[in-house]
Chain A
């Protein structure tokens, strides 16, 4: 089966203050349609660079990237993205923050005025599924960090992207809120069936959410291990306390410790 996201032999070099820096070296990564992929690795291994490459915001120095069989040559014009910082627009109400992608992505863009009511209803519904029913008319600063991150997730999904790119979206949250949001993301993914690439430092997060965990080496980054996670779905938070789960996390931890050494 042809991969939905096909990163093939990608190298990225850029000019740093002290000579060329090789962020990625011959990185190959194939993510199937509908897969939940997690990318883990030591800090500074080029995980975030990978995000920018896949979405076409950066051009690789060598190698190719294709999404759904089409080679990526410029911004992909469809991917949803969310980061550690919720990046809300503080002058917009929650609902208008969520609607932002529809003001940009075609074909919604040209229908934005005529279908405003429909779009609003859709956004309200999405907000309700992440537990933010009734918060539409609040401003971002009235929301907690966890709530803002939920809004950010809604914004990244409102246009029903086939691909969702997440760069440590829960890293700034406290442990309880983080686990709550794992479940929010799990449910959204299960319901909507998009493909996810989640970049994270949190091995438990990767093991709980992902179908496959891709371990990256230290810079120059490439994939050194693919770890499938076979826990049945839907997964309950309970699974994180099982022995098998602990074993996976331990194995990943050892692997990363090892690549940090080398």
Chain B
């Protein structure tokens, strides 16, 4: 097999290999199924109750996407504002760091108190947990404009807005798209945390419910579906990143080579 095909296949091969090792380990060591379920049991559960799993997967997916979309919108605005002025940057940074340090699981009870049990607290949690990397990355992209390039433009009479539009924002795009990959996986974490603590639907809710009833195969099935959604959305945003900021990948390659 040539190296390129191998590289393309390797993510699949690794995933299959992990499932095989897991399955074999369960058989060989005769692991008690209340401790660890083999993947085959999880897939069987998924297959048997496919309607249930489809429904809850769908809820988690859309809740996450709504929270994530809010984070992108808010993150872009705040990132631009923070990147625009050093004073705002310095002023807001400690607040944002402080806020980001608070584990979101600690806020969920408050959110449930405010919005009631359901999708809203999950959306808000997904939003809160995922906007931070977007803000930081946009602000970083804007802040790292080469000073000489700024001189070239200013000597031509360019104002701050010109420099932002011509240089800052295009420069920040690779950072922005890169941050989306981090943010989307965090958004899933936010959704599931909230669903586990107070919801009527979603994979987090399902995990909590089935876990409490010791239907472990169903718990594993939900976990696998969650992982699958995460990988899927990550791939989508990695693809978008590649598409929109080809130049950044190319110029890095040429710099390395």
Contacts and interface: CB of A to CB of B under 8 A. Distances in A.
Contacts of B86: none
A101 B254 CA distance: 26
A85 B148 contact: yes
Contacts of B153: 100, 104
Contacts of A155: 152
A85 B146 contact: yes
B152 A141 contact: no
A133 interface: no
Contacts of A81: 151-152, 155
A101 B155 CA distance: 10
B170 A79 contact: no
Interface in A143-179: 155-156, 159, 165
Interface string B237-257: 000000001011011001100
B149 interface: yes
A91 B247 contact: yes
A78 B247 contact: no
Looking at B166, B173, B248, B255, the one whose CB has the most chain A CB atoms below 10 A away is B166
Interface in A43-88: 52, 55-57, 75-83, 85, 87
B96 to A, nearest CB: 28
A76 B155 CA distance: 6
Contact of A104 (B162, B247, B255): B162
B215 interface: no
A104 B162 CA distance: 8
Given A103-B166, A139-B247, A141-B254, A87 B148 contact: yes
A104 B148 contact: no
A80 B157 CA distance: 11
A140 B151 contact: no
A21 interface: no
Contacts of B251: 90, 139-141
Given A57-B151, A83-B148, A90-B247, A78 B254 contact: no
Contacts of B154: 55, 57, 75
Given A100-B166, A139-B247, A75 B148 contact: no
A78 B157 contact: yes
Interface residues of B, number: 23
A245 to B, nearest CB: 31
Given A52-B151, A85-B148, A89-B167, A105 B157 contact: yes
B247 A159 contact: no
A202 interface: no
Given A85-B148, A90-B251, A104-B162, A57 B155 contact: yes
A106 interface: yes
A79 B155 contact: yes
A104 B159 CA distance: 9
A104 B156 contact: yes
Contact of B156 (A78, A89, A90): A78
B158 interface: yes
A260 to B, nearest CB: 26
A93 to B, nearest CB: 10
A79 B153 CA distance: 10
A165 B148 CA distance: 12
B170 A91 contact: yes
Contact of B166 (A52, A104, A142, A156): A104
Nearest to A84: B148
A233 to B, nearest CB: 28
Given A85-B148, A90-B247, A139-B250, A56 B155 contact: yes
B152 A105 contact: no
Nearest to B165: A103
Contacts of A142: 254
A20 B255 CA distance: 39
Contacts of B148: 83, 85, 87
Interface string B20-34: 000000000000000
B151 A90 contact: no
Contact of A159 (B151, B156, B158, B245): B156
A106 B157 CA distance: 9
B170 A105 contact: no
Nearest to A161: B156
Interface in B160-215: 162, 166-167, 170, 173
A156 B170 CA distance: 21
Contacts of A83: 148, 151-152
15 contacts: A55-B151, A55-B154, A75-B156, A77-B155, A77-B157, A78-B156, A79-B156, A83-B151, A87-B149, A90-B250, A91-B170, A141-B251, A141-B254, A156-B152, A165-B155
